[in-house]
Amino acid sequence: MATDRAETGLVVLVVDDSPEEASFLVATLEANGMSVLVATDGARAITIAERTAPDLILMDAIMPGMDGFSATLGMKANDKVSDIPIIFMTGLSETEHIVRAFAVGGVDYVTKPIKPEELVARIGVHSQNAKVSRSTKMALDTTGRHLFATNGTGEILWATRQARELLADDEDAHDAALAVSADKLRIGATLSLSQDLSAAVIGRLGPKEFLLRITREGSRQEIETLQGHLNITAREAEVLLWLARGKANRDIAEILKLSPRTVNKHLEVVFRKLGVENRAAATAIAVRHLSGQG
């Protein structure tokens, strides 16, 4: 049943090796205002998805060559198309195939013969969910947050651009992020990723999706150097170290998980102990000692 032939603006990729099934789906979806692309095998589907970025994919489970399960695994491992929702189409009703569809990354499944009204409804729901998810991730990217999500079984589900850059520059941290097990992903926990990076578990987005925020730790050696030479506490040394690295108070507060007011108080004490009146003078002293000239 058409939705008054309203233009939904959705682009759907149909992956089916049966010309009859593909024609039926094209007619059904176009009657509901969608634009439809067609691939007859899994390998071709991956190529088309990379080039066109459809809003949703209808994936036949069983096809010659690369089947729907293998194609979906390939897409979920590809950053360009990993967030496109995939609905499986199958004539199989065995539990093992349904479970497999979800295990490889499918969001839903429909059984053949396909009921047009049900299919259109499912496409609407999952495309809207995907749109919200993409908008959220885009917003996080633009705010400069160092966030990533993991399932706790050796897979990073997504990451903001800033987090990807940090992990790409630190191989140890990247490997540690992949190795984080689900039993360690308790909200509020802080995990060491490398000498310079740690990750705090700040939320749970689903049963197998945990949200973490990466922070850059001050070098322990540098902190100990400032603490030993300047007669300040470890926390005061941390604050001074980040000050010397050019960070604003607000940034220092976020890095060290302190309130801006607490950072200000630590700096007041540091200025007094160093006998200086401003940030520039404190930074100069810190840099001198960190460079071995103190």
Q: For residue 212, give the nearest of 148, 266, 277, 120 by alpha carbon.
A: 148
Domain locations along the chain: 11-134, 143-216, 220-290
Contact 192, 215 (CB under 8 A): no
State yes or no: pLDDT of 21 exceeds 50. Answer: yes
State yes or no: pLDDT of 2 exceeds 50. Answer: no
Task: Look up the pTM and report it.
Answer: 0.52
Measured N-to-C along each axis, helices 279-290 and 220-230 cross at an angle, to the nearest 10 degrees, of 110
Q: Note the pLDDT of residue 119.
A: 94
> Which tokens belong to 18?
């049966």
Same CATH topology for 11-134 and 143-216: the answer is no
Contact 26, 116 (CB under 8 A): no
Secondary structure of residue 116 in the 3-state scheme: helix
Contact 61, 89 (CB under 8 A): yes
Q: Note the pLDDT of residue 293.
A: 67
Q: Which residues pair with residue 90 across a beta bridge?
A: 111
Q: What is the pLDDT of residues 103-133, one digit of tens each?
A: 999 999 998 889 999 999 999 988 887 776 6
Pick the CATH number of 143-216 from 3.40.1000, 3.40.630, 3.40.1840, 2.60.34: 3.40.1840
Q: What is the mean pLDDT of residues 269-290?
A: 93
Q: 11-134: which CATH topology?
A: Rossmann fold (3.40.50)
The residue written with tokens 């000050």 in the block is 243
Contact 10, 35 (CB under 8 A): yes
The model's confidence at residue 144, banded by pLDDT at 50, 70 and 90, is low
Cα angle: 196, vertex 201, 207; to 5 degrees: 140
The answer to which of 25-29, 60-64, 195-199, 284-288 has the lowest mean pLDDT is: 195-199
Q: Note the pLDDT of residue 143.
A: 53
State yes or no: pLDDT of 225 exceeds 80. Answer: yes
Domain 220-290 bears CATH identifier 3.40.50.720 = no
Contact 41, 18 (CB under 8 A): no
Q: What is the pLDDT of residues 262-277, one digit of tens each?
A: 999 999 999 999 999 9
Give the whole-number percent of the chain exceeding pLDDT 90: 45
Q: Note the pLDDT of residue 264.
A: 94
Q: Note the pLDDT of residue 27.
A: 95
The residue written with tokens 């194609």 in the block is 71
Q: Note the pLDDT of residue 129.
A: 79
Q: What is the pLDDT of residues 170-217, one digit of tens each?
A: 888 899 999 988 888 988 888 889 877 888 888 887 778 898 988 776
Q: What is the pLDDT of residues 42-54, one digit of tens each?
A: 999 999 999 998 9
Highest mean pLDDT among 89-103, 129-143, 240-254: 240-254
The answer to which of 13-27, 43-57, 90-104, 165-179 has the lowest mean pLDDT is: 90-104
